[in-house]
Amino acid sequence: MTTIKLFLRESKKNSKGESPVSFRIIKNRKSIVISTGIWLLPAQWDKDNLRVFTKVKNSERLNQMIDHRQTELRDNSIEQDTFNKNASTRQIKNAVMGYQPVDFFSYADKACEEYRRAGQIGSYDKNRAIIEKLRVFTKYQNIYFQDIDIEFLKRYEIHCQEKLFNKVNTIHMNMKFIRKLFNDAYAQDLIQHKDIPFNKYKLKTEKTHREYLTEDELEKFEKAEVTPGTRMDLHKDMFVFSAYAGGLRVSDVLQLTWDNYDGENIHVAVKKTKTQLSFMLPDRAKEIVAKYRPADPNPTDFIFPMLPADMKRDDPYEVDLEISRATAYINKNVDLIAKKVKLTKHVSFHISRHTWATRALTKGISIDKVSKILGHADISETQIYAKIINEELNKAMQVFNIKKPEPKPKTARAKAQPKPKAVKAKTKPKPKAAITKTKRQPPAPNLN
C-alpha cells in the first residue's frame, strides 16, 4: 500500500526563509517528495491541522490547491496499487505531475560514458558505434524513448539489412544494447513499462558455426616448423598455451605476468568479465611457460613478451590500443602457420578458446566446470560447445548405420533356348590311296 503524508519541508528554504508545502509518498519502504509549489514561512503553516493558517493572505485558495493535489495523489496511488502493484513511487509522481519524456541519445551517451569510466574501452567503442549508427538513421534528430516504438525498430532493422548489409547477428547485437538502455531507464523509473517496445518486438538470431581444431589438427599446428625466437614462434606458443590453459582470451594471455603464475596454477583477473580465475596448468602449458621463464623473472614482467614493456598499464586507452595491435599481428601469424601445415580452416587466436572448450568436454570435464574456467556468466554460452560435441558424436555413431551392400537378388530369367550347335557341313571322306598289289617275284635261280 502507498502512504501519502503532507508536511512543510523546512529542510529546504529559499532566500526569504520560506519552505515548500510537500507530499511524501511512501511505498515498499521507499519514499519520494513532491512539492505543491506553495512556499510558506514556518509561522504560516498549521502543523497540527496540516493547513495554511487563515490569517495568511489567500489562505482559502491555497488550502483548496493543497486539497486538490492531495485528492489527485490519492486517486493515482489507489489506481496504481490496484492495476500495477509493482509501480514505484516515481511512477506515481510521474502520473500526478505529468510525464516528462527522456531524450534517448542523451541517456545513451551517458550510458556509454560509464563504460569508459570503468575502463571498458572495448565495450565503450562498440556501444558508441551502435548509437552513432542509430543517429545516422534518425538524421541526427533528437528523439525520446517514446519515439522508438515497434514500427521504428522494424524500419531500422530493414535499414540495417538493406542499406548497411548487416547480418542477422550484427543487428541482434545492436538491438540488444538498445533494449538494455530501455530496461535501465525503466529500472530508474524514467519511462513506463508500456514505453518498452521490446515487450512485443522479438530479437532475432541465427545459428553460427564455432570453428575449432580437432586433436589431429592441433597436433599438426604444434609440430609446425617455425624459426625459433621469432614472433611467429611466440605467437604459435601463445595459441597452443591457450588451447591447453583453459581457453584464455588473447587479451588475458597478453597481460599474464610472472606474479600470475606460482609454478603450478594460473591466477588471473579476466579482463572482459572482471572475474578472478585460478586453475592448474597442464604439463604442456607449463612447458611453454618454462620456455620463456628467465633465470630471475621480475614479477610484473609479461610472461609472453609481446606488449611494450613501457606501456602505461593504468591507462585503459593505451592498453586497449596495444592489445588491438598485438591481436591483429597474432591472428595474421597463426593463420599463416595453419596454412603452412595445410589446415583448411581460417584460424584466429580465438579458435584456441573454442578448441580448449570442445577438448575439455570431450575428455569428460563437466559442463559447469568448463563454464567456470571459460568465465561464462551464463551456462547457456557453454552449452553451445556441448551441442558441437553432441553433433560430432552423432556423426561418429552413424558408422553403425552403414551397412554392407547386399548382393543383388537373382531375378527370374526366361530360360534361354540352347544355342543350336553349329552343324558341320558333311564332307566327303577323302578317298584312300589305292594300294596296288604287286605279284611276288619268284626267287632268282641259283646259277652256281
* CB-based contact 227:233 (threshold 8 Å): yes
Check whether 320 has a pLDDT greater than 80: yes
Q: Nearest 5 degrees, angle CA 8-CA 10-CA 12?
A: 115
The answer to whether the CB of 267 falls within 8 A of the CB of 260 is yes
At residue 249's C-alpha, the angle toward residues 376 and 168, to 5°, is 65
Distance in angstroms (rounded) separating the CA atoms of residues 166 and 170: 6
What is the Cα–Cα distance from 414 to 347, expressed in whole angstroms? 63
CB atoms within 10 A of CB 218: 21
Name 3's bridge partners: 26
State how far the Cα of 356 lies from the Cα of 247, in Å rounded to an integer.
5
Predicted pLDDT of residue 424? 56
d(CA 9, CA 31): 14
Tell me the per-residue pLDDT of 263-288, one tens digit each, with 9 for 90 and over: 999 998 877 777 788 889 999 999 99
Measured between alpha carbons, how far is 303 from 262 in angstroms, rounded to an integer? 12
What stretches of 17-88 show up as alpha helix (H) in DSSP?
A: 59-83
Give me the phi and psi of 196, to 5 degrees please.
-90, 110
Please say if the pLDDT value at position 255 is more than 90: yes
Q: Order the strands of the 3-8 sheet from edge to edge.
A: 3-8, 19-27, 30-40
CA separation for the pair 137, 141 (Å, rounded): 9
Q: pLDDT of 98-121, one tens digit each? A: 556 789 999 999 999 999 988 888
Q: Return the beta strands (E) in 189-282 as ranges.
A: 265-269, 276-280
DSSP H helices in 138-191:
150-162, 168-187
Question: Three cell numbers at 45?
Answer: 503553516
d(CA 62, CA 33): 19
pLDDT, tens only, 402-428? 666 666 666 555 555 555 555 555 555
Q: How far apart are CA 190 and CA 99, in angstroms?
A: 9
C-alpha cell at 399: 558408422
Which of 15-24, 152-161, 351-360 ranks highest by mean pLDDT?
A: 152-161
Given a cut of 70, whether residue 437 has pLDDT beyond it is no
